[in-house]
């Protein structure tokens, strides 16, 4: 079982968030990423948000260089 990550730098944001989060399990990563999205970005913790975050989780570790942001 390898690491999993989600990288906020991939998403459009007025604050240009540079946070990347890694964890050993998808469930742990999902919980932390949801907390970040709610506390920092003002999202509501909804099933739709969780699905969106779950879909953005990748295997491995985040790249050192910022990825291109989604349009």
28-60 pLDDT, tens digit per residue, is 999 999 999 999 999 999 999 999 999 999 999
Inter-CA distances, 42 with 10, 25, 26, 60, 63, Å: 17, 25, 22, 27, 25
Q: Please tell me the predicted confidence (pLDDT) of residue 68.
A: 67
pTM: 0.84
pLDDT of 14 reads 79
Strand order in the sheet with 4-7: 20-23, 4-7, 58-59
pLDDT score, position 1: 66
Supply the mean pLDDT for the chain.
90
What is the domain partition of the chain in residue ranges?
4-58
The whole-number pLDDT of residue 49 equals 96
């Amino acid at each position: 079982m390898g690491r999993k990550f989600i990288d906020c730098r991939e998403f459009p944001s007025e604050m240009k968030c540079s946070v990347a989060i890694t964890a050993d399990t998808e469930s742990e990563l999902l919980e932390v990423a949801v907390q970040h999205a709610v506390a920092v970005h003002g999202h509501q913790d909804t099933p739709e948000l969780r699905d969106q975050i779950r879909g953005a989780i990748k295997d491995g570790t985040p790249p050192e260089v910022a990825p291109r942001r989604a349009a």
